[in-house]
Amino acid sequence: MSSVFNKIVFSAALLAIGGLLYTPVQAQLRVEVSGVGSSQIPVAIAAFADEMLIPQQITSIIKDDLNRSGYFKIIDADAVITESAPVNFDEWRKRGAEALVVGSVQRLADGRFDVRYRLLDTVKSVPLSGFSVATPPTNTRLTAHKIADDIYEKLTGIPGAFATRIAYVTKAGNEYRLEVADADGDGIKVALRSNEPIISPAWSADGTKVAYVSFEAKKPVVWVQNLVTGERRIVANFKGNNSAPAWSPDGSRLAVALSRDGLTQIYTVNADGSGLQKLTSSSGIDTEPQFSADGQSVYFLSDRGGSPQIYRINTNGGEAKRVTFNGTYNITPRISPDGRTLAYISRRDNKFQLYVLDLATGQEQRLSDTTKDESPSFSPNGRYIMYATESGRRGALAVVSVDGKVKQKLTVQAGDIREPTWGPFMK
């Protein structure tokens, strides 16, 4: 880990790509959850009527999602209740439930399934939400995630992120894979295969593309890959290192770190590779750019002051201002979707750990209790941060709530898993 800063800038290898876009794999991420939110909402979830007709049970996926969030106490309804059945609210209140989830599944003539769901407020004895979705068998998990998202939002006031996706890099034997999965680790598909490391994947704002660094030209080159069509395009292949791509919020440009003129500096480039513009000019190494939530500035890592720290510069240029002041080694800036919180990795007492900084108050908080953390990434609702760490001498992913109370660990049965990036809300 002591070479993290150098690795980001100077990694080099030869990439050998094989396989097809989105090749399904059998391995699945194993999720372990510890800790709960400061307060948990008790929710009763009844079995959906006739859900045995579909490949995966809707209710079990909903329960797993809400349990994993740490902010709900699941009360098993021990019953099948349709969305149109009469409900004895007093009975559910006595069982401690503040909300009740009911629903049903019906097979349609065209082979799809009509999934109907309803969320009831047992305290006020009124319906809170509900909808009906006609879904093909292959999308039943997504439908369940969307129901869990709706429950999460209606009961917490914050959009749920269960129906989103994550991307990360795994290493098994001599093969590296860029994989995409559901936020719960299911539905893993391979976007890219390599005999050498793949680094720095980053989602586009619309969730259809991923930028990353490959080494097909025997040096780091930034590519953008369309996950729908499989089309790949080079966006930065200049002299020296091309690294650390980060998308602008509107998806029109990328910030990248290039050493084309000597020391690595921050540039911006259009998503098609045109319109290169230099953003920083310093006597140090500037790398790991990250657009602010409003797209008006870029956070980045620099050693211009003598040690790696995080700075911020306007996208129109000008003077860069230092952001981190606690500790002598702060790297990998990531900004929350609302622009209020900065996440980063800090080395203190020879431990690399995840920290967050409230940009308005300057209050800092350590979120992880692991010691070899890398690559933080906010969930699109800003409620959680995913990062890479180590578990049993192997790479693993971890998720922590922004208040530090809820923790998850994601591992694969064999191999390392690194470089996570959490995808956006899908429309």
Work out the angle at residue 234's Cα, subtended by the Cα atoms of residues 228 and 238, and round it to the nearest 5 degrees.
160
For residue 396, name the pLDDT band (cuts at 50, 70, 90). Answer: confident
Measure the CA–CA gap between 308 and 319, rounded to whole angstroms.
18
How much of the chain, in percent, has pLDDT values that exceed 90? 78
Over residues 387-399, the mean pLDDT reads 87
Other Cβ atoms less than 10 A from the Cβ of 229: the count is: 10
For residues 380 and 423, the answer to whether their CB atoms sit within 8 Å is yes
CATH C-level class of 4-16+164-422:
mainly beta
Measure the CA–CA gap between 420 and 146, rounded to whole angstroms.
22
The pLDDT value given to residue 195: 83
Other Cβ atoms less than 10 A from the Cβ of 177: the count is: 23
Q: What is the DSSP letter of 48?
A: P
For residue 248, name the pLDDT band (cuts at 50, 70, 90). Answer: very high
The pLDDT value given to residue 31: 62
- Given this chain, do its domains 4-16+164-422 and 38-156 carry the same CATH topology? no
Measure the CA–CA gap between 174 and 194, rounded to whole angstroms.
9
Q: Is the pLDDT of residue 355 over 60?
A: yes
The pLDDT value given to residue 144: 97
The pLDDT value given to residue 13: 29
Least confident of 35-39, 46-50, 55-59, 157-161: 35-39
The pLDDT value given to residue 28: 59
End-to-end CA distance of the chain: 38
Measure the CA–CA gap between 324 and 330, rounded to whole angstroms.
7
The pLDDT value given to residue 56: 85
Sketch the domain layout of the chain as residue ranges. 4-16+164-422, 38-156
Q: Is the pLDDT of residue 1 over 60?
A: no
Give the contacts of 212 (CB within 8 A, at least 6 positions apart). Answer: 178, 192, 198, 199, 200, 201, 202, 222, 223, 225, 245
> pLDDT tens, 162-206?
999 999 998 888 888 999 999 998 989 999 988 877 899 999 999
Give the predicted TM-score (pTM) of the model: 0.90
> pLDDT tens, 120-152?
999 999 999 999 999 999 999 999 999 999 999
The pLDDT value given to residue 393: 79
Measure the CA–CA gap between 204 and 253, rounded to whole angstroms.
10
For residue 285, name the pLDDT band (cuts at 50, 70, 90). Answer: very high
The pLDDT value given to residue 219: 87
Topology given in CATH for the domain delimited by 38-156: Rossmann fold (3.40.50)
The pLDDT value given to residue 413: 62
3-state class of 153 per DSSP? helix
For residues 135 and 144, the answer to whether their CB atoms sit within 8 Å is no
Structural tokens at position 413: 């049965």
Q: Is the pLDDT of residue 306 over 90?
A: yes
Q: What average pLDDT does the chain have?
A: 90
Measure the CA–CA gap between 73 and 228, rounded to whole angstroms.
37
What H or E segment, with its residue span, contains residue 170?
strand 165-172
Cα separation values, 319 from 309, 315, 323, 331, 366, Å:
15, 11, 13, 20, 29
> pLDDT tens, 9-54?
433 222 233 333 445 554 556 666 666 656 899 999 999 999 999 9
Q: Is the pLDDT of residue 116 over 90?
A: yes
The pLDDT value given to residue 391: 77
